[in-house]
Structure formats: C-alpha cells, structure tokens
Structure 1
Amino acid sequence: MTLSTHAPTLAREADGWARSRRLIRFWLYGVAALILALVVVGGATRLTESGLSITEWKPIHGIVPPLSQAQWQEEFDLYRQIPQYQLLNKGMSLSDFQTIYWWEWAHRFLARSVGFAFALPLAFFWLTGRIEPWLKPRLVGLLTLGGVQGGIGWWMVASGLVERTEVSQYRLAVHLTMACIIFASTLWIAKGLSPQRIEAPPTGHSAKVGALLVALALLQIYLGGLVAGLNAGLSFNTWPLMDGQIVPANLLAMSPAWRNFFENVMTVQFTHRCGAYLLFTVALLHAIAARRLAPGSRHAKMATHLAGLVTLQAALGITTLLLQVPIGWALLHQAGALLVLAGAVFHARELKGAYPLPAAA
C-alpha cells in the first residue's frame, strides 16, 4: 500500500482521536469544577465548625441522610459523645445540630459525586476505546488519588473525635492540599489534551518558572490550611504590620523551633503572609520578563493574567484578614486560591505544549 493510500486512513484516525480528546477534556473540566465546589463547601464546613457532626465513616450507607426523628436523634446522640459537644456545644438543640450536620453531609455528598462523575465516564471512555494508551495510567492515577483522598478525609475527622474539639491542623492541611493536587492534575491533563498554537517560550527557563509558580501556589494553599486549622486568621488582624511590626517578635517561642511553623498561631499566619509575598513577587517578575522578551505573545498574556489573579487573591486575603474572617470573604479567598492554582497550571502546561496526537507522534 502506498503512502498516498495510507494518508486518508491516518487522517481519519487523527480526527477520531481529536474528537475523543475533546470529549475527555470537557469531562475533566467538569470534574475539576466539582472539585472546586467541593473545596469551597469544605471551607464552609470548617468555618461553621461542622466537620465533626458526622462521627462515623460510611462510604456507601452515608449517602442517605437521616430520614426520621429517630435517625436524627441517633446521629445527635453520637455527636454528644465527642469532646466538641461536651466542651463547646453542650446544650445544643437538635435543630442546631441539624444545621451543622447538613454542611458536613453536603461536603461528603459532593465528594462522593466527584467519585461517580470521574469513575463512570472513565469506564465508558475506556470500554468504547476512546482513551489513548498513554493516557490510561494517568487517569487511573487520578482515580487512585481520589480514593486516597477519601481515606485522608476520614483520617482528618478522626483526629477530632477523641481528645480534641476540632480536627488536627496537620491533617486538615494535608487534606486540603491533596484536593488541590487532584484539581491541578486534572486540569494539567485536560489542558494538555486541548489543541494549542505552537509558540516557543520566551526563554529556556520559562517552563521551569511556570512549574515553580504551580509549586508555590500549592505551598501557599498548604500554609493556608494550617492557618484555617489553627483559626490563625482570627488573630493579628492588621496589615501590613503584624502585632505592630513588620517582623513580629516571638515567632520562635515554642521549642523545638520547628513546632512554631505548624502550631504557633503567630508564626503560621506570618509564614502564610510570606508565602503570599513570594508568590506575588515571582508571578510579577515572570510577567514583566515575558512581556519584555516576547511582547504580544500568548505566553506573555497568560503570565500577565496570572499575575493579575495573584494580585486579586492577595487583595482578597488582606480584606478577609482585616474584616476578621467573615464566612463570605473567607470562601471567596479559598475559591480564589484554586483559581490562582488553575491559572498557574494552564500557564505552565501551555509552556510545555499539547500532547501530540498518535498519528503525529
């Protein structure tokens, strides 16, 4: 068979893979949107102190909420056995308990929905031959991370059921960061499946800086998880000074010194501020360099948009702090963190270029 006879067949195969990629890409973007909603509802669960209202892990049975007065009373009785009720909420009415219960139930329901929204289409695309061989382990990896995240979620909740009145800030930060790693990985794969205009990065180091920005965004989210876990945003509600100083005293009051970065409210908030300053500086310098070295390029535009997102997120963070963490502003700030992460992922992935189609590989 001649090359000319092969050409139409190869073109049809390439078109078929391109159509499959389009479907998979939209599916992954939909999953990412659900993860964003899940993280925001998780933030509301934390801010309303609702996360310990469901004291058992029932991955299947827990989909159905209490449907009778007796079932509600049973759930309430379980809650009344843990330290949070006994030390903080003693005397809470059943109606008040139902309010916090629904927040936690909604969070867990969304988490299960993400699992179904990922697993069922994955099975369909796989069985109908729409997934390229190289993509299969990546998608299975995402599914595995989702299962691990479910276990981390219960590991986090369990930390607040025996001796504490709230979950461990260590575990909360890990849980939040893992959700964001799954979110970023989903967007990374989806973006790589989109057709992109071939355009050389401004410099040989641009892709490394793009990856650094993704890493800094994830680090800042982890630090924000520690802030949330310690309620550190409710203290030192001034900016740019903190406790009346640029660099406050007593940052290393605990011993050994490393504990301050995870357990000292002042140090944890100060570290989160420093992380924001670092992310803002790198994003701004990267945007300036891209515009100077490749004016008008798509990379320069994306770097500029990312710097704008980081600036907006910083303003949201400062506003949330100054207002002493009202729930609306706090959730905007949390959603903003994921939008910054998404912008960083899109920018870094575009600097690497799209995955080649099989016929062109």
Structure 2
Amino acid sequence: MSAIPDRAGGKSSGAVRLWLAVVAALVIAMVAVGGATRLTGSGLSITEWRPVTGIVPPLSEADWASEFAKYRDTPQYAILNQGMGLSAFKVLYGWEWGHRLLGRLLGLVFFLPLIVFWWRGMIRRRLGWGLLALGVLGGLQGAIGWIMVASGLEPGMTAVAPLKLALHLTTASLILAVVVWLAAGERPEALAPAPGRLRTTALLLPPMVLAQIFLGGLVAGSHAGLVYNTWPDMDGVLIPPADSLFAVRPWIENFVDNHLLVQFDHRLVAYILLAVALLHAVDAAVSAWGTLAARRAMMVAAFVLAQAGLGIATLLLAVPLWAALAHQVMAMGVLSAATIHARLSQGVRTGTAPQAASGRAYPGLAAQRA
C-alpha cells in the first residue's frame, strides 16, 4: 500500500475532495453538538471513558439506574442538580452520548476511506502524510476530551476546567482547519499564487482566528459571557482599569479566572482580527481588483464582520442557547473561509501550465507582466 508521488487524476482528486468535505462537515457538527452539550450542562453526565463499549447506550431500566447512580456521586449532582429525576438525567445523558457517538462516527468516516483511497493509489504522498498526522491529532483530541471531562469530576467542581475546555475546542478547530487546508489543495485547476503581501496576510488570518476561538473557549468555560453584558463599554468604561483586570493573585490566573480580563481579551482580539480582515480586503480590492484573491479576501472580511455582530448580539442578550450555538458554529465558518483563502493564496499546482492559471486567476496582473 503506497501513496502516489504526484497528483491523482481528476476523478480520484474529486473523490478525495468530497470525502474531506464530509469530514469537515462532521467536525463542524461535532463542535455544534459539543457546544449544545456544554450549554445544557450535559458534559459530566457520563462519568467513564469507554471508547469501544461506550457506543451502546443503557438499554434497560437496570442499566439506566446504574448510570444514574454514578452521576449522583459527582459534585455537579450534589451541588447543582440535587433531586434530579431519572427522566431529566436521560436528557443530559443523551446529549453527551450523542456527542461521543458523533466522535466515533467521525473516526470511521475518516479512517475507512483513508485506507481505501491509499490502497487504490488515489492519495499523493504529501497529502497522505498530512492525513496520517491528522489522524493522530484526532486521537489526541479524544484524549483531551476525556481529560477535560475528568477535570469536572474532581471534588468541588460543577463544570469542566475552562482552560481544558478551551484547549478541546481549539484542537477541534485546528483539525477543521487542517482538513479544509488539505481539501483546498486538491483543487482540480491550477491557480497562481496571490501577490506577496496579500499572500502573507492571508496566512496570518487562520492563526488569528484560532487564537480568538481559544479565547472564546475561555469565555465559555468560565461563563464570562454572563457578566458585563453591555457594548462597547465594559462595566461603564471602554478600557477597564488595570487593578480590575489583574485583581486576582497570582496575576497569571487572571487570564483564566478573572471574568473581566477573560472577556476583555476576547473583545480586544476580535477588534484586531476585524481590523486586519477589513484592511486585507481593502488592500486586495485596490491592488488585485477582479481577482479570485480579492473576492476571497472580501468574503473572509464579511464572515468576520458577521461573526462580530453575532458575538455582540449574544453578549447583549446574555448568551441565550440559540445565539451561543450560532456564534460557535459561525466561528467554524470564519475559520474555514480564512483557511481556504490562505491555502489558495499560496497557489495550486496541477498539470495545467502556470502561465495559463495565472491568466485565469489574475488577468489584470498577468497582462501587466506581459
């Protein structure tokens, strides 16, 4: 079994792209269900990590009674859900079980076609190594998920640790970005690289989006979105004083435990990301008007602007379930758009002559060079 050294044929490449698109869609669904699991307080309802046997839910009243008894031993039940009935527990359990089931399905959808495509020589060697690394990252994500859940089962805890939740969300987002990057590189037509400055800025955008997603995970994990529900001010001021931002000792813990600083960091990076995306779109429109790169840059800016508006609405409404989920899923859309733009801005090689690709993608620039 070996990957082919160069690009597969058109049909093979199309099948691989479709498969990667399905994987990306499942990752986004996984993030959405994970968000619903967190927002409904369901993430600690399953107290054991059983990667294989856990696929089977409780099937009898005795099984349900056993699972409910394990949950009643958790701090979350004792502190928050004392007196909860079995029917309410089944709802919590269903969200977490569905989240884990979707993760198992995602693993199958990723690995089974990967084996088939690789065996049939439909995957280039470089793409193959990238996909294997992605598989390892996916396995690591499963372990991070359990470490996160275990943090919420410790004495005195009623939810998972914010830092571990942020890491779990960011790793899922990184997996999505890698899948989208690899899929975009399987474009059937050749595409010339974007001009240097646009190419560099396009590469900067996905890491910035990932950083913002990490900060959003801290906001979600610490419930910092439930306070300071005004905009553009925070607690009556645009920039909170330093003694309030760093009120916790030791000071490093403010970045996770101080609701004011956690939310302020998320707002600040949002402003920076929006400014970079808008300036990049303007730069692309001025320097490469009418090109694919300019259209993609403007699309990314539109996504970032829409996400900023949704984030503000979510905050002002005090984080209702629908808005919080929409904000989280929209973040995956922003990341996907930024990643596609970054990958295609580097250019795509195929059997098509680069000159022809340059003429199609950047006709104005090609004419100027001629």
**Match in the other structure for 2:360:** none
Displacement after TM superposition at 1:129 (Å): 1.7
Cα distance in structure 2, aligned partners of 1:200 and 1:59 = 43
Task: Give CA deviations for 1:289-344 in whole Å, capped at 9, x if unaligned.
Answer: 00001111111111001100000000110011111111001100001100000010
* Residue aligned with 2:318, SS: coil
Cα distance in structure 1, aligned partners of 2:227 and 2:190 = 48
Larger mean Cα displacement after TM superposition, 253-262 or 164-173: 253-262
Larger mean Cα displacement after TM superposition, 49-58 or 250-259: 250-259
- Return closer, same or farther for 1:135/1:14 CA change in 2, 3 Å cut-off: closer
- Specify which of 157, 171, 187 is matched with residue 178 of structure 1: 171
Cα distance in structure 2, aligned partners of 1:34 and 1:344 = 19
Task: Give CA deviations for 1:53-84 in whole Å, capped at 9, x if unaligned.
Answer: 00000101111111111101100000000100
CA contact (8 A) 2:199 2:345 kept: yes
Cα distance in structure 2, aligned partners of 1:33 and 1:86 = 37
Matching residue's letter, 1:181: L
- Specify which of 270, 279, 287 is matched with residue 281 of structure 2: 287
Matching residue's letter, 1:341: L
Matching residue's letter, 1:145: L
CA contact (8 A) 1:14 1:358 kept: no
- Return closer, same or farther for 1:71/1:311 CA change in 2, 3 Å cut-off: same
CA contact (8 A) 1:14 1:357 kept: no
- Return closer, same or farther for 1:196/1:348 CA change in 2, 3 Å cut-off: farther
**Match in the other structure for 1:336:** 330
Identity percentage of aligned residues: 50
| 1:67-216 correspondence to structure 2 within 5 Å | 67-163=59-155, 164-201=157-194, 203-216=195-208
Cα distance in structure 2, aligned partners of 1:358 and 1:77 = 64
RMSD (CA atoms): 1.7
Displacement after TM superposition at 1:208 (Å): 1.7
Unaligned runs of 5+ in 1: 1-12
Cα distance in structure 2, aligned partners of 1:16 and 1:340 = 29
Are 1:231 and 2:223 counterparts? yes
- Return closer, same or farther for 1:275/1:234 CA change in 2, 3 Å cut-off: same
Cα distance in structure 2, aligned partners of 1:15 and 1:234 = 50
CA contact (8 A) 2:190 2:353 kept: no
Displacement after TM superposition at 1:150 (Å): 0.5
- Specify which of 20, 25, 29 is matched with residue 33 of structure 1: 25
**Match in the other structure for 1:8:** none
CA contact (8 A) 2:193 2:199 kept: no
User: Aligned pair count?
Assistant: 347
Unaligned runs of 5+ in 2: 355-370
Displacement after TM superposition at 1:356 (Å): 3.9
Matching residue's letter, 1:193: E
Displacement after TM superposition at 1:200 (Å): 4.3
Matching residue's letter, 1:187: V
| 1:301-320 correspondence to structure 2 within 5 Å | 301-320=295-314
* Residue aligned with 1:205, SS: helix
Matching residue's letter, 1:101: Y
**Match in the other structure for 1:10:** none
Task: Give CA deviations for 1:227-286 in whole Å, capped at 9, x if unaligned.
Answer: 010011111100001101001230111122221111111100010001110110000000
CA contact (8 A) 2:215 2:266 kept: yes
| 1:13-52 correspondence to structure 2 within 5 Å | 17-52=9-44
Displacement after TM superposition at 1:14 (Å): 8.4
Are 1:59 and 2:64 counterparts? no
- Return closer, same or farther for 1:148/1:358 CA change in 2, 3 Å cut-off: farther
Task: Give CA deviations for 1:203-230 in whole Å, capped at 9, x if unaligned.
Answer: 3122221111101100000000000100
- Specify which of 251, 263, 270 is matched with residue 269 of structure 1: 263
Larger mean Cα displacement after TM superposition, 149-158 or 256-265: 256-265
- Specify which of 197, 209, 212 is matched with residue 220 of structure 1: 212
CA contact (8 A) 1:21 1:193 kept: yes
* Residue aligned with 1:247, SS: coil
